[in-house]
């Protein structure tokens, strides 16, 4: 079924403070054709001789891959995690193909480096969180877990919850001062998924608004520390 974006207009004009920062050493850019469209993505591969876990990072509306790539680099270098962050066009038509594109990007990553195919995760901020939840439900046999900050499960996705082949673990975070996506959205998502048998890590951040970066180090460390020890349930 098509995925429908439903965001407040304020989100589309939200300033993204780290967009102007330079791409960090060790991060490369690749392009692949997925679902009949060219998709450019940033890629970070740690030095390792073994198959590593990987995270597909999804940025917010109007943002760019570096917005989510940069905050994850420190942890990825320390823990040995492959990171891939595609450009997400702000187009309604993208919603229907997004899960296929995400899987296509990760398959391209797997051609470039050794990835543990049982440990491919999603992380999304804002619009990226919305898309991460949709892709995790539709491609639940491919991905191993979902991490989200500042978004939740829209009611359009409710039918997908029961259709998901596996119940992926979900780490969900929201700011109590978020005026763009109020905390009630995360609370509804938590309750709905819990009532449908999903394992959830849920945290509300007291002084946090919609911006991800002020608490990114803590969110990433907490989410990864929890989700990396969980496995999907049938």
Q: Quick one: pLDDT band at residue 29, thresholds 50, 70, 90?
A: very high
pLDDT tens sequence across 83-129: 999 999 988 889 999 999 999 999 999 999 999 999 999 999 999 99
Q: Kindly list the distances between the CA atom of residue 225 and the CA atoms of 47, 59, 94, 115, 222, in Å, as whole numbers in the listed order.
A: 21, 21, 31, 19, 5
Longest pairwise C-alpha distance within the chain: 46
Closest by Cα among 201, 175, 180, 182 to 190: 201
Which range is least confidently modeled, 12-26, 66-80, 89-103, 114-128? 12-26
CA distance 213 to 16: 10
9-44 in b/e form (b: 16+ CB < 10 A) is eebeebebebeeeeeeeebeeeebebeeeebebbbb
Mean pLDDT, residues 19-35 taken together: 78
Encoded tokens for 82: 């492959």
CA atoms 195, 201, 205, 210: torsion sign: negative
pLDDT at 39 over 60: yes
Tell me: pLDDT of 4 over 80. Answer: no
pLDDT at residue 233 is higher than 80: yes
Q: Give the percent of the chain with pLDDT over 90.
A: 83
Per-residue pLDDT at 11: 39
- Reply yes or no on whether the pLDDT at 17 is more than 90: no
Strand pairing report for 52-58 and 115-125: parallel
Q: 152's torsion region: left (phi>0), alpha (psi -120 to 50) or beta?
A: beta
Q: What is the mean pLDDT of the chain?
A: 91
Mean pLDDT within 5-9: 40
Q: How confident is the model at residue 23 (pLDDT cuts 50, 70, 90)?
A: low
Helix, strand, or coil (residue 92):
coil
pTM summary value: 0.91
Output the pLDDT for position 217: 98
**Dist. CA 73–CA 45, nearest whole Å:** 10
- Given a contact cutoff of 8 angstroms between Cβ atoms, the answer to whether 55 and 122 are in contact is yes
Q: Is the pLDDT at 5 greater than 70, yes or no? A: no
């Amino acid at each position: 079924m098509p995925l429908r974006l439903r965001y407040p207009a304020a989100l589309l004009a939200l300033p993204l403070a780290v967009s102007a920062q330079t791409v960090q050493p060790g991060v490369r850019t690749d392009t692949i054709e997925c679902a009949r469209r060219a998709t450019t993505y940033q890629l970070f591969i740690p030095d390792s001789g073994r198959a590593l876990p990987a995270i597909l990072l999804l940025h917010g509306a109007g943002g760019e891959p570096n917005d989510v790539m940069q905050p994850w680099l420190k942890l990825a270098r320390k823990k040995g995690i492959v990171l891939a962050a595609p450009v997400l066009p702000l187009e309604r038509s993208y919603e229907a193909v997004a899960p296929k594109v995400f899987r296509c990007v990760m398959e391209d990553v797997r051609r470039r480096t050794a990835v543990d195919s049982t440990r491919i995760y999603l992380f999304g901020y804002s619009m990226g969180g919305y898309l991460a939840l949709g892709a995790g439900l539709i491609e639940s046999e491919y991905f191993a877990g979902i991490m989200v900050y500042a978004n939740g499960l829209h009611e359009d996705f409710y039918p997908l919850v029961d259709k998901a082949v596996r119940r992926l673990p979900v780490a969900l975070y929201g700011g109590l001062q978020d005026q763009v996506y109020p905390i009630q959205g995360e609370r509804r998502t938590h309750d709905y998924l819990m009532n449908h048998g999903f394992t959830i890590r849920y945290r509300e951040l007291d002084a946090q608004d919609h911006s991800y970066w002020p608490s990114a180090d803590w969110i990433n460390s907490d989410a990864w520390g929890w989700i990396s020890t969980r496995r999907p349930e049938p």
